[in-house]
Structure 1
Amino acid sequence: MASRVRAAGLGVVLVLVVSACATVPTGGAVQPGQAGAGGDRRNEPYIRLIPPSPQPGDSQTTVVKGFLAALASFEGDHRAARAYLTPDQRRSWRPSRQVRVYDDAADFVVEPPTPYGGEGAQVDVSASQVAQINPNGRYDVSTLGDDLRERFRLRKVGKEWRISEPPQILMLSRRDVDRAYRPLNLYFFGSDMRSLVPDPVMVPVYARGDIAATLAEALLRGPTSWLAPAVRTAFPAGTRVAGVTSSATTITVELTGTVSRASQDALSDMSAQLMWTLKQLPEMQELKLLVNGEPVRVPGADEEGVQDKGDWMVHDPNVLTSRAHTYYVRDGRLWYSENGEGKHAPGGLGEAAAGPISRPAVMLDEGRAAALTPDGHGVLVADLTVGSRVSQPLFGGTYVSLSWDRFENLWVAERYGKGTRLWLLRGGGRPVEVPAPELREVAVKELDVARDGARLAIVHDSGRRSQIEIGRVVQAGGKTQAEGFFPLGSELAEVTSLAWRDADQLAVLGQGSEGATQPYLVYVDGTRVQGVSAAPGGEMAAIAAAPGQPLLSGVEDGHVWRTGDRLIWQRLADGADPVYPG
């Protein structure tokens, strides 16, 4: 009879290690929101696991179960797991950095042993795979129904069974990944070398002293293969990390190699990438950059080349000021809220002469706005200045979603046959179709471009569920393409609205296990989903979000609601379709 293996059932001991290391939740499970929590568990302590050793007389399946549980212990280069291997494998086993993540609820199914090679045995194991961590640290959510299957071969060493052919990858449960890894970002420049773009990777935290060095070295290796076509790096090829040291508040990074020939501007850009990448570590308050042992003096640094954590905010990937207004539709016109007071938006979309509008989108600098006609068959654009006229650059199609990027381009999603066409209107002007071959058979319901301009999020229906996907925006030779769409794992069913909350999170309206529509925060690194309380007043129809701003929702009672703590909602205005710039 097949059996299941759980770490808790094998006498595993967990030891709390108080340090700046963190555990992180992984997988797509929905977690309840907490006021003020923010979902950031980066500063929680690392919990060390001490699994049991093999015992005399253990059966073949017990040895395999013990090995699987011991894989979650990283101390001594997997010393605990090696105890279950034959002597030659104990010395030579070198698992790759790839990790296959299985579902805690399913655990491993361990089949009864079968004979192999005369006196040997083999044991088959399987589990429901939820994700994998690639060698470059990227967390990829698995397709529903993916299985993890491995075959173990064993032989006797003296009187005891030991594994003679172990897997060459790590197999960890969600809880194991929670404990031993945390999601952090590497930062690279967008195509214009102005705004930084986060590249999320899973970083092992079981080796505390190496995290800063691990991040710096990963940054110099370049972006993950998925993001690479959409971003650039300031580090010239041939640059190496000579050393990373930490004091109480300062991290010092020494570079060597071709960086010695870099210009002052390039050194400034390198400093920005390093600062944004390393300041995720809680102890980091200052950065000192050395090249061949000599301090680099960039704008803002002191005489010793020390840069402050607050430097390089000009490259903030969120690209939105705290003064951004809230916009919404009321009586078919565009309104905005200022200091809690509702006002007509200046220009054609806020005037009755423009006719009724729906689904507005506002440029990041609030200089222009766009909207759909109520029937979705036209796209309207106007300056947000008194007396401006309305243009209709697109008409006759079925347009479903609008979004502005940081380059003042208006993105439009149009239903076309069974799929979707994307249009790009530079400055809101003449439309140009954006190649998006992966969307030819995908009926997009919602589209929102990240404020960094390098990524976009979509929602479409896939079978009986809605699917959220992230794509990259590639700029090359004056042309733009949307490509590389991958799914974000979640346990949400119907998703009706989404918006980028910041560079790391989406806010979405969806149905969880209880069937009610409510907001959720979905992390774009694929690791988790957090629930937010529902607004009062009936069914929530739309959601809006922005960095450092309250969540907004349009509700079927004809009101716009907002929440700053994700628990208590307050009525903002009469209206619908709320949006922030972007």
Structure 2
Amino acid sequence: MTRTRRLAAALAIVAAVALAGSGCTVIPVTGPLTVQETGSGDPLSKPFQRMIAIPPRPTWGPDETIRGLQAAMAAYADDPSILAKYLTPEARAAWNPSGPVAVIEDEYEIVPSTPRDDAAQAQTFTLKGRWVAKIEEDDSYTPTAGVSPRTFQLVKAEGGGYRVSGLEDGLLLTNADVTRAYRATNLYYLTGKTQDRLVVDRVRLRLKPTQTYAQTILERLLKSPSHALKGAVTTSFPPGTKIESIRSDERVVINLSGPLSLSAEDTLSAQIRYSLNKNEIAKGRVIEIQVDGEPYTVDRPSADDHWLDDTSDTAYYVSKGAVHYMGQDGPAGAVPGAAGEQRTGYSGFAVSRDGALIAARTSTGISVAGLTQEGRWQEVIQGTRLTPPTWHRDGSLWTYDSQNGVLLRYDPITGRGPDRVAAPKLSGLDVTKLRIARDGVRVAVMTGENTVHIGALTGGSAGTMLGAFQVLTTTEVGNKITSVAWEDDEHVLVLAEGKAGQTLNEINVGDGEVVGVPLKDPLESVTALGGRVLAEAMTDQGAKIEELDQDRQTWTVKIESDAGSPLFPLG
């Protein structure tokens, strides 16, 4: 059946339902009426269901009217005319749909804000639902909690039924509305200074019946990143770039227009490739990019894949104060130099991107050693209340001095530092952990024992600054977070414990999506890279190193005894 015939059939069903009985029947308890929309057969699109909103009926009471209005909000982006029919002329002139989209749970209730009076001309009602999230105007998705009450003023309409004479600005959608019409989408931008790596920006994009998902993705990619990465990343697309057309057969052909530079071929094609392929669009096919119909560059599936995972994947662990290599199936020997010698007083180990340097915290500061036979520990940052060290992909070493409330950076190559880095949002907070992501942009910051924030390193004319903070997760009072580690550029692993036991959650830093990881034994710490997750487990036989299996459900012991603090480079 074609799209036009499906739509006509659905409208016929709506009309038939409306004529069949009372107003309550046109809003089924299973949810608003939908119709399968375009995209199901297009390799550059995704199938989705489009809401068909229904105008208010003379037989409807306040409850049905408000529910019908909410359904019209879900359909507003495709057809704004239906929502207008629910409003009085004054309300239409005053209401503004812009601003964050409030997302609530599917089940909600509508209660009178004042005692019900059927004789009254104007009445106020409150829609009460559990708040799920908000979708900002930059398409970022932020989980929220609590009750999100919305008030509606209703007046009786001529000929029966009600109209809304007053409502708050912005759209109110249910979680089902968002699941149906939006898609979690990864966009890829470039690191701000070096532009040698891609940084993922996760947003929620609304699918459109008039264009493919591929076009929706690329048109959003031409815009600025979300506020979480503002000032921290750049793009290869200059202002004025437009998507003229996208077509697909054996290859995907994208025709652009605008002042595109020939020197941006590699970075531009990388942004397009990852933004399409990571969202399961055009995967495995050649992508041909044109400018004004003329060949610009061709991106092949076998193209160099250095844009994301370019860090050493060697795993390490600590035994009796000595750092050891770890193979796929167990111990592989101590590292060379002083770091491989047994000693006490060193903790919070961190390995640089290329595996050439290791850092650790002592009672007097942060020390660094080369992983060579000649490598010796050297204190490079002094302080008695420093967070465990963390490496940046550019080779610099970072820590937070809680005693003086300053973020510090040391450059082992030049021996410069430690220099102070502006981090105004951390002022006055009890910073206990600091972990820079492998993309060199995002930073996980733990404050106290209960809260993990995500920030970003920006590099404007005034120098590097750590900002753009938002809370990623927090625990209840009495519980505490014991370990935080970057799993990849999108996810952080957070280990927490309380009276009910331990939890290990994988949290998407872009939209807060949480996936729990089952545990076998009590864990002390976790680390991850390239799909591998390692943990220090405490068993009856002592500390062991365990690895999470590929099924993400079970753990396998890799080192039986005297092994702890597993770590990978960076993260």
TM-score over 0.5 (shorter chain): yes
Query: Is residue 2:264 matched to residue 1:266?
Result: yes
1:308 matched to which residue of 2?
Answer: 300
Deviations 1:21-79 (A, max 9, x none): 9xxxxxxxxxxxxxxxxxxxx99963555677644421123211232245334685267
The offset of 1:320, in angstroms, is 2.6
Asked if the contact 1:155–1:164 (Cα under 8 Å) also holds between the matched residues in 2, the reply is no
Separation of aligned partners in 1, 2:433 and 2:28: 43
The offset of 1:177, in angstroms, is 2.0
The offset of 1:174, in angstroms, is 2.8
TM alignment of 1:337-486, pairs within 5 A:
337-342=326-331, 343-352=333-342, 355-373=344-362, 376-416=363-403, 420-427=405-412, 429=415, 430-461=417-448, 466-477=450-461, 479-486=463-470
2:29 matched to which residue of 1?
Answer: 9
- SS in structure 2 at match of 1:215: helix
Going from structure 1 to structure 2, the CA distance change for 1:413 and 1:226 (only over 3 Å counts) comes to same
1:545 matched to which residue of 2?
Answer: 528
Going from structure 1 to structure 2, the CA distance change for 1:91 and 1:313 (only over 3 Å counts) comes to farther
Letter in 2 for 1:320: T
Going from structure 1 to structure 2, the CA distance change for 1:356 and 1:124 (only over 3 Å counts) comes to closer
1:196 matched to which residue of 2?
Answer: 198
TM alignment of 1:228-267, pairs within 5 A:
228-243=230-245, 245-248=246-249, 250-259=251-260, 262=261, 264-267=262-265
Query: Is residue 2:140 matched to residue 1:138?
Result: yes
Separation of aligned partners in 1, 2:382 and 2:61: 71
Separation of aligned partners in 2, 1:553 and 1:440: 32
Deviations 1:472-491 (A, max 9, x none): 10123483221121112567
Asked if the contact 1:153–1:166 (Cα under 8 Å) also holds between the matched residues in 2, the reply is no
1:64 to 66, 69, 72: 66
The offset of 1:81, in angstroms, is 4.9
- SS in structure 2 at match of 1:277: helix
Asked if the contact 2:228–2:455 (Cα under 8 Å) also holds between the matched residues in 1, the reply is no
The offset of 1:370, in angstroms, is 0.8
1:290 matched to which residue of 2?
Answer: 290
Structure of greater Rg: 2
The offset of 1:319, in angstroms, is 3.2
Out of 9-18 and 452-461, give the one that drifted further: 9-18
TM alignment of 1:171-250, pairs within 5 A:
171-190=172-191, 191-205=193-207, 207=209, 209-243=211-245, 245-248=246-249, 250=251
Separation of aligned partners in 1, 2:46 and 2:501: 32
The offset of 1:124, in angstroms, is 3.3
2:16 matched to which residue of 1?
Answer: none
1:37 matched to which residue of 2?
Answer: none
Q: State TM-score, norm by structure 2.
A: 0.83
Letter in 2 for 1:577: S
The offset of 1:19, in angstroms, is 5.7
- SS in structure 2 at match of 1:241: strand
Going from structure 1 to structure 2, the CA distance change for 1:89 and 1:390 (only over 3 Å counts) comes to same
Going from structure 1 to structure 2, the CA distance change for 1:398 and 1:76 (only over 3 Å counts) comes to closer
The offset of 1:383, in angstroms, is 0.8
2:556 matched to which residue of 1?
Answer: 570
- SS in structure 2 at match of 1:100: strand
2:310 matched to which residue of 1?
Answer: 319
Asked if the contact 1:11–1:51 (Cα under 8 Å) also holds between the matched residues in 2, the reply is no
The offset of 1:198, in angstroms, is 1.1
The offset of 1:171, in angstroms, is 0.9
Out of 442-451 and 422-431, give the one that drifted further: 422-431
Going from structure 1 to structure 2, the CA distance change for 1:68 and 1:540 (only over 3 Å counts) comes to same
Asked if the contact 1:421–1:433 (Cα under 8 Å) also holds between the matched residues in 2, the reply is yes
Out of 424-433 and 566-575, give the one that drifted further: 424-433
TM alignment of 1:28-67, pairs within 5 A:
46-48=48-50, 54-67=56-69
TM alignment of 1:548-563, pairs within 5 A:
548-555=531-538, 557-563=542-548
Asked if the contact 1:541–1:554 (Cα under 8 Å) also holds between the matched residues in 2, the reply is yes
Asked if the contact 2:487–2:528 (Cα under 8 Å) also holds between the matched residues in 1, the reply is yes
1:336 to 319, 325, 336: 325
Separation of aligned partners in 1, 2:164 and 2:366: 65
2:569 matched to which residue of 1?
Answer: 581
Separation of aligned partners in 1, 2:237 and 2:535: 40
Letter in 1 for 2:340: G
Asked if the contact 1:60–1:154 (Cα under 8 Å) also holds between the matched residues in 2, the reply is no
Asked if the contact 1:43–1:282 (Cα under 8 Å) also holds between the matched residues in 2, the reply is no
Asked if the contact 1:329–1:358 (Cα under 8 Å) also holds between the matched residues in 2, the reply is no
Letter in 2 for 1:221: K
Separation of aligned partners in 1, 2:302 and 2:178: 31
**Higher RCO, 1 or 2 (CA under 8 Å, sep at least 6)?**
1
Separation of aligned partners in 2, 1:148 and 1:401: 43
1:523 to 508, 511, 532: 508
The offset of 1:357, in angstroms, is 2.1
Q: State TM-score, norm by structure 1.
A: 0.81
1:34 matched to which residue of 2?
Answer: none
Asked if the contact 2:244–2:257 (Cα under 8 Å) also holds between the matched residues in 1, the reply is yes
Asked if the contact 2:507–2:513 (Cα under 8 Å) also holds between the matched residues in 1, the reply is yes
- SS in structure 2 at match of 1:571: strand
Asked if the contact 2:140–2:511 (Cα under 8 Å) also holds between the matched residues in 1, the reply is no
Asked if the contact 1:550–1:562 (Cα under 8 Å) also holds between the matched residues in 2, the reply is yes
2:21 matched to which residue of 1?
Answer: none
Separation of aligned partners in 1, 2:45 and 2:397: 39
2:8 matched to which residue of 1?
Answer: none
Separation of aligned partners in 1, 2:352 and 2:395: 6
Deviations 1:257-310 (A, max 9, x none): 222xx2x2223322221111122232403322111111113xxx3xxxxx2244
Sequence identity percentage:
27
1:502 matched to which residue of 2?
Answer: 488
Separation of aligned partners in 1, 2:147 and 2:68: 24
TM alignment of 1:96-107, pairs within 5 A:
96=98, 98-104=100-106, 107=108
The offset of 1:336, in angstroms, is 1.5
Asked if the contact 2:368–2:378 (Cα under 8 Å) also holds between the matched residues in 1, the reply is yes
Going from structure 1 to structure 2, the CA distance change for 1:116 and 1:100 (only over 3 Å counts) comes to farther
Deviations 1:228-277 (A, max 9, x none): 2111112222222223x232453332221222xx2x22233222211111
Going from structure 1 to structure 2, the CA distance change for 1:515 and 1:173 (only over 3 Å counts) comes to farther
Going from structure 1 to structure 2, the CA distance change for 1:91 and 1:9 (only over 3 Å counts) comes to farther
- SS in structure 2 at match of 1:95: coil
Asked if the contact 1:242–1:254 (Cα under 8 Å) also holds between the matched residues in 2, the reply is yes
The offset of 1:130, in angstroms, is 3.7
2:19 matched to which residue of 1?
Answer: none
Separation of aligned partners in 2, 1:384 and 1:68: 62
